[in-house]
Amino acid sequence: MKQTFGVRITDPFHLNGWQVVELAGTALESSDACPCCLTKLETAVEFVADAGGRMRLGACPMCEYAGYIDRPSQAWFQDFYNKQWDTNPNVPAQPAEFKPNPLISAILDLKLPTTSKVFEVGTGYGQLLRQMRQGGFSDLHGIEHSPHRAEAASKAAEANVMHGDFSDPEVIANIKQRGMFQIVFSKSVMEHMFDPRALFDGASEILEEGGVLAVTVPNVFREPTPGTLFFLPHLHAFSLGSLEFLAQSYGFESVSLFEIGNGVVIIARKKTAMAKKLSRTPAGTERLLEKWMTEFCVSKIGDASTVYWWGVTGNRWTGVFKDRGFLNPILFWSGILLRRIPKRYRAIRVKKAPAQEGVPITVYSSKLSLFYK
Ligand SMILES: [Zn+2]
């Protein structure tokens, strides 16, 4: 039998840039099919609010995808991105310093003709398109959800970047009027999409036969566990296997599949004939549950109030310390200094709570809420 564990979040102790998103009273929609391989998801985590309301996070027993089974509607997310995400002072309004990205380096390594027509889904400020330009490509296009970033990207990369939603079929029809593309890429976008299949729907439409699609998204095995469990804007987390299933279901043939930092990357070619269906032994959810239970320090969370902390980046540093009231800030920061880790941390105050039968991790709180930044 699988281990079960219950924890109560009593206080968002030190969110360090994250904010609470209240979901109490928000209508939730449910979908328990894995978007990558269509297998039924198993409930891995259930959020239970005293004031009423439940929400589940599922894990795929076939391909090790993880994502919310219950979540607010697509319209809710559109509103969220328009009103909260893009106006948030914690999200930088200016492009970060230009740094070569390994996804683009991998594309450049393919030595594709520099006359190729290139499209980026989710350009941000245009750093990646700019890297493509520096790599010799000049026919650069893209789409970006935020109007001011679309404008910034157009300038930064001398590219034709439109403002819009790539999951909208009308938008795809407009893009196709620019002609078919030979390279489509996307970094850190699919995990935010209500339906990640929409990225492949659109990419299949605008890529010519034999064209290359390159996608990078968070790696479910490397992303910090609280990010997968509690960070609402990341609706999905992927394994190498789930990317491969997803690509194959659209008739893409995988050229390379690898991990970079906290991400997984697939580079695939569009084929005309549907690729052979992947047949695989189900991966099971044990590996995912073990990661989450270990990083969540479940064996160290007891009946007394405890501060659970984790590293902001995916370095897997997590820990707990006994709650000592007003001494907490001192203990918290000295604990970090003692570990000599020059990283930033987040922490929440938790204590042990009843486990539910059949649910590996139950997370209780007074009101249904998650986090965003
Ligand atoms: Zn799956």
Ligand 1 geometric centre to CA of 37 (Å): 4
Ligand 1 geometric centre to CA of 35 (Å): 7
Q: Do the domain assignments include residue 147?
A: yes
Ligand 1 geometric centre to CA of 128 (Å): 29
Ligand 1 geometric centre to CA of 247 (Å): 12
Distance CA 241, CA 222 (A): 14
Which CATH number characterizes residue 240's domain? 3.40.50.150
Higher pLDDT, 271 or 314: 271
Q: Do the domain assignments include residue 183?
A: yes
Q: Do the domain assignments include residue 311?
A: no
Residue 63: count other Cβ atoms within 10 Å of its Cβ: 25
Q: Do the domain assignments include residue 70?
A: no
Question: Which of 92-106, 256-270, 303-317, 325-339 has the least mean pLDDT?
Answer: 325-339
Containing 65, the helix (H) or strand (E) segment is none
Q: Do the domain assignments include residue 48?
A: no
289 touches 59 (CB < 8 A): yes
Nearest residue to 132 via CA among 186, 188, 175, 199: 186
Question: Which of 16-25, 164-173, 179-188, 225-234 has the least mean pLDDT?
Answer: 16-25
Ligand 1 geometric centre to CA of 6 (Å): 26
Q: Do the domain assignments include residue 112?
A: yes
Ligand 1 geometric centre to CA of 210 (Å): 26
Per residue in 150-174, pLDDT (tens digit) is: 999 999 999 999 999 999 999 999 9
Ligand 1 geometric centre to CA of 242 (Å): 6
Residue 245 burial class via C-beta count within 10 angstroms: exposed 0-12, middle 13-18, buried 19 and up: buried
Nearest residue to 102 via CA among 313, 270, 222, 262: 262
What is the pLDDT of the chain when averaged over all its residues? 90
Q: Do the domain assignments include residue 258?
A: yes
Domain carrying residue 245: 102-270
Distance CA 72, CA 77 (A): 7
Ligand 1 geometric centre to CA of 235 (Å): 14
59 touches 65 (CB < 8 A): yes
Ligand 1 geometric centre to CA of 64 (Å): 6
pTM exceeding the 0.85 threshold for the entire prediction: yes
Q: What's the structural domain count of the chain?
A: 1
Q: Do the domain assignments include residue 43?
A: no
